[in-house]
């Protein structure tokens, strides 16, 4: 069961960091846990976020495994091995940043870097019981990150606690500063479709947080989910479709790539119209309550034994993918059900309000621990 695909010892004596293997580290190949990239050449320079990590005095100790080509939500990988879920053995680690979440959960690093195109930081964070942040789109550099072009993907940190997550975010974005929570802040609780037990855990945490809670709705979420799928399919096919010629892409991802190849220009154009409409809808909701809340996942994680069909598992992203389309920052906070299974609480904030989002997340956790 593979979490780390490359052991490293780079940098200073600061926080220990692991890096998803879609992010270039000079002198090492970026293989994205794909047999199709087994012969990839070593990267010639560090990704900008890796350089930032080293400049901050952190120590990079490894590259982490992932769902092949970052194109899946379960984290299962037949070629590279599936990262074991340290806190919830037998359950999927979530994808695609599976190794990064598992490394944090196992205590192998202080924070890890993942990437999130359709929930790929927040889903594994929820599955492995750790914190995960998808920053505002464009806030953190993607230079040196695979795929080279994306209108959805964000590099983000995963950590065991909010303080470490905030450290990680500041390291990869020097403009990120620690913020205070405004007095009388209200949270808009968005009505979504989810398992009753998941709802109960999330609602109980929100009530215990003692923030003012207001009902909110985002009727465009379903359309935004579909639009997000169209965009990720078109962009991933453009970036990775040629790898099918190697015959080495795993069956689950190969099937998804073939299906992605059928995405029409009309579908992408429609998706862009949905993007504009949904972004405006979220902005309007955030003008009423500066934080929105909902579960990270609509149900508990699958058992590894039940997760073989990647496409059937895509519904795991029904509550996260829309915010990749809109570009808003989103944070997953780990909770646990009475039955001992992981649940994620997702908080969303306005574009550029990553500091407020993390401040509210940290204060919410502090209040839950009282």
Catalytic residue among 98, 100, 120, 326: 120
Residue entry with tokens 């990590």? 53
CATH number, domain at 70?
A: 3.90.1300.10
Which pLDDT does position 160 carry in this prediction? 98
Confirm whether 150 is a catalytic residue. no
Give the CA diameter of the chain: 57
Q: How far apart are CA 337 and CA 288, in angstroms?
A: 30
Residue entry with tokens 């359950």? 91
Confirm whether 33 is a catalytic residue. no
How many domains does the chain contain in total?
1
Q: What is the DSSP letter of 107?
A: T
> Which residues neighbour 117 within 8 Å (Cβ) at sequence distance 6 or greater?
70, 96, 150, 152, 153, 154, 232, 324
Confirm whether 264 is a catalytic residue. no
Catalytic residue among 20, 34, 150, 318: 20
Residues 170 and 359 sit within 8 Å (Cβ to Cβ): no
Which pLDDT does position 1 carry in this prediction? 52
Cross-sheet strand order for the sheet of 342-348: 4-11, 59-64, 16-20, 111-116, 154-159, 131-134, 330-336, 342-348, 291-295, 186-190, 212-216
Q: Is the whole-model pTM more than 0.85?
A: yes
CA distances from 194 to 47, 50, 90, 218 (A): 37, 37, 22, 15
pLDDT tens, 26-37? 999 999 999 999
pLDDT tens, 186-214? 999 999 999 999 999 999 999 999 999 99
Structure token pair of residue 32: 């994205």
Residue ranges making up the domain that contains 32: 4-368
**Mean pLDDT for the chain overall:** 97
Catalytic residue among 33, 34, 65, 96: 96
pLDDT band at 310 (very low <50, low <70, confident <90, very high): low
Residue entry with tokens 């989002």? 357
Structure token pair of residue 299: 């149900």
The number of beta carbons lying within 10 Å of the beta carbon of residue 260 is 21
Give the start-end residues of each E strand in the chain. Answer: 4-11, 16-20, 59-64, 111-116, 131-134, 154-159, 186-190, 212-216, 291-295, 330-336, 342-348
């Amino acid at each position: 069961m593979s979490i780390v695909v490359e052991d490293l010892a780079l940098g200073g004596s600061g926080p220990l960091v692991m890096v998803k293997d879609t992010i270039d580290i000079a002198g090492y190949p970026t293989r994205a846990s794909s047999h199709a990239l087994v012969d990839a050449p070593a990267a010639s320079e560090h990704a900008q976020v890796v350089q930032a990590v080293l400049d901050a005095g952190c120590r990079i100790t490894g590259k982490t495994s992932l769902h092949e080509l970052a194109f899946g939500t379960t984290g299962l990988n037949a070629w590279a091995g599936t990262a074991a879920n340290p806190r919830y053995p037998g359950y999927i680690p979530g994808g695609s940043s599976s190794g990064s979440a598992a490394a944090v959960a196992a205590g192998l690093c202080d924070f890890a870097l993942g990437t999130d195109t359709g929930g790929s930081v927040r889903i594994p964070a929820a599955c492995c019981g750790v914190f995960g942040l998808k920053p505002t789109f464009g806030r953190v550099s993607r230079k040196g990150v695979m795929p080279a072009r994306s209108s959805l993907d964000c590099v983000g940190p995963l950590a065991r606690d909010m303080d470490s997550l905030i450290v990680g975010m500041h390291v990869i974005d020097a403009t990120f500063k620690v913020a205070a929570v405004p007095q009388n802040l209200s949270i808009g609780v968005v009505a979504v479709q989810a398992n009753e037990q998941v709802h109960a855990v999330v609602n109980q945490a929100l009530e215990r947080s003692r923030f003012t809670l207001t009902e909110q709705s985002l009727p465009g979420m379903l359309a935004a989910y579909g639009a997000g799928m169209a965009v990720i399919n078109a962009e991933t096919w453009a970036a990775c479709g040629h790898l099918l010629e190697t015959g080495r892409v795993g069956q689950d991802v190969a099937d998804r790539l073939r299906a992605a190849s059928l995405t029409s220009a009309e579908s992408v154009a429609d998706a862009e119209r949905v993007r504009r409409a949904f972004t405006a809808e979220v902005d309007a909701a955030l003008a009423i309550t500066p934080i929105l809340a909902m579960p990270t996942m609509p149900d508990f994680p699958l058992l590894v034994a039940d997760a073989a069909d990647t496409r059937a598992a895509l519904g795991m992203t029904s509550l996260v993918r829309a915010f990749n389309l809109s570009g808003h920052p989103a944070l997953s906070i780990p909770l646990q059900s009475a039955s001992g299974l992981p649940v994620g609480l997702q908080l969303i904030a306005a574009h550029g309000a990553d500091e407020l989002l993390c401040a509210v997340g940290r204060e919410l956790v502090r209040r839950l621990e009282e």
